[in-house]
Amino acid sequence: MDTNEPIISLRGVTKIFNTKESEVDALIDINLDIFQSEIYGIIGQSGAGKSTLVRCMNFLERPTEGSVIFDGQNLADLSLKELLKVRQAIGMIFQQFNLLMQRTVLKNVCYPLEIAGVPKKEAKQRAIELLEMVGLSDKINAYPSQLSGGQKQRVAIARAIATRPKVLLCDEATSALDPMTTRSILELLKDINQRFGITIVIITHEMDVIETICDKVAILENGRIVEMGKVEDVFVNPKSAAGKRLVFKSDEQFSEFESEKVYRIVFDGQSAFEPIISNMVAKFKAPVNILFANTKNIGGKAFGQMLIQLPEDRILTKQMLRYLEERSIKYEEVTQDA
């Protein structure tokens, strides 16, 4: 397949729900391309339309307008039978795991293989392999109710990729899990992505999830995509209000500082992860007050932002800012209407 062809392509997708009294625009003119082997994050607050959007990708929800192209096929043109076949090529996991409660772990993973018509013996073998991969080979005969949330999601992942789908859709897959378990599930997803080249679409309301594993991100607000791009670009320099709100969660806190000398410095991966601030303090022998910091080491580069208060002395301040410039670190003065 041509790698320049997106695996999922949404064009002008609009979804309107008709309720008794009114029409609700859940999605408005969504255009989105997701390429093979990408991990694509879609973030937004609850009610932004994320879940509807991801359900349009496998036609669990039919868009009111617009088209969804999966692997070169327009889903709207398919017969029901063909659509069922396409769905077997798109795995999906959920916030509430949605395992079959009356089936054992093994039988749960066998389920999509049964539907795909894989012979029983072969299906069982494949299921056992998958459960080994997700680290649950000792639980194959357990029932879902006997598992923890993280274990349930592992079973759900094994089930979702059993038929070797091209895409895995994750609908708030970590939202019901604690931070530690979230991390391990995200690692598993990353591992699956790298090992099998499976494209992953992640729906979440947590910026952490996006930062941890996504390559690209789209920000959804009130049914519209307000911003999209590479995660590092959006993270360093969010353009939309919604993007800023997600990235700089603490804007409200630092807008309280009235000093003119508060600067936001941004690490955008250009600089190595070196202790810039403490080097600067050592050089100028002047105090720097760190009001806020949120930096991350992604692949040895520094990403994130910091809010610092520089000394009253104007000349000193200028020198310090020049010091930052020399190290190609972007900064901006924080004004009250941040």
Partner 1 sequence: MLDAQTLSMIGKGIIETLYMVIVSTVCAYAIGLPIGLILVVTDKNGIRPFPIVSKVLGFIVNLLRSVPFVILMISVTPLTKKIVGTTLGTSATIVPLVIASAPYIARLVESSIKEVDAGIIEAARAMGTGTFRLIYKVLIPEAKPSLIIGGAIAITTILGYSAMSGFIGGGGLGDIAVRYGYYRSETQILLVTVAVLIIIVQGFQELGMRLAKRSDKRV
Q: At closest approach, how far in Å is the CB of 283 from partner 1?
A: 58
The nearest distance, CB 142 to partner 1, in angstroms, is 10
Nearer to partner 1, 101 or 282 (CB): 101
Q: Rank residues 87 and 264 by Cβ distance to partner 1 and give the closer one.
A: 87
Closer residue to partner 1 in complex, CB, 92/236? 92
d(CA 326, CA 135): 49
Q: How far apart are the first and last CA of the chain?
A: 46
Quick one: tokens of 279?
């080097």
The minimum distance between CB 175 and partner 1, in angstroms, equals 13
Beta strands 23-34 and 39-43, pairing class: unpaired
In the complex, what is the shortest distance from the CB of residue 161 to partner 1, in angstroms, rounded to a whole number? Answer: 11
CA–CA dist 248, 226 (Å, integer): 16
- Least distance between partner 1 and beta carbon 102 (Å): 5
Q: How many Å apart are CA 140 and CA 295, to the nearest integer? A: 41
Helix (H, G, I), strand (E, B) or coil at 26: strand
Q: What are phi and psi of 284, to 5 degrees?
A: -90, -10
* Residue 263 φ then ψ, to 5°: -125, 140
Measured from the CB atom, the residue of 125 and 141 that comes closer to partner 1 is: 141
Tell me whether strands 301-309 and 262-272 are parallel, antiparallel or unpaired.
Answer: antiparallel
Half-sphere exposure of 237 (CA within 13 A, CB side): 8
- Going through the chain in order, the beta strands assigned E by DSSP cover 8-18, 23-34, 39-43, 65-70, 73-74, 90-94, 167-171, 199-204, 216-221, 224-230, 262-272, 289-298, 301-309, 330-333
Least distance CB 22 / partner 1 (angstroms) = 18
**What is the enclosing helix (H) or strand (E) of 157?**
helix 149-160
Interaction site with partner 1 (CB under 8 A) = 58, 60, 80-81, 84-88, 90-92, 94, 96, 98-104, 111-112, 114-116, 143-146, 156, 159-160, 163, 169
The H or E element that residue 82 is part of is helix 80-87
DSSP letter for each residue of 254-289: HTT---TTEEEEEEEEEEES--HHHHHHHHH----E
Please say which residue, 162 or 307, places its beta carbon nearer to partner 1. Answer: 162
CB nearer partner 1, residue 91 or residue 150: 91
Q: Which is nearer to partner 1, 89 or 133 (CB)?
A: 89
- Nearest approach, Cβ of residue 181 and partner 1 (Å): 19
CB of 124 or CB of 301, closer to partner 1: 124
Under DSSP, is residue 309 helix (H, G, I), strand (E, B) or coil?
Answer: strand
Please say which residue, 112 or 243, places its beta carbon nearer to partner 1: 112
- Closest approach of partner 1 to the CB of residue 155, in Å: 12
Tell the smallest beta-carbon distance from residue 217 to partner 1 (Å): 23
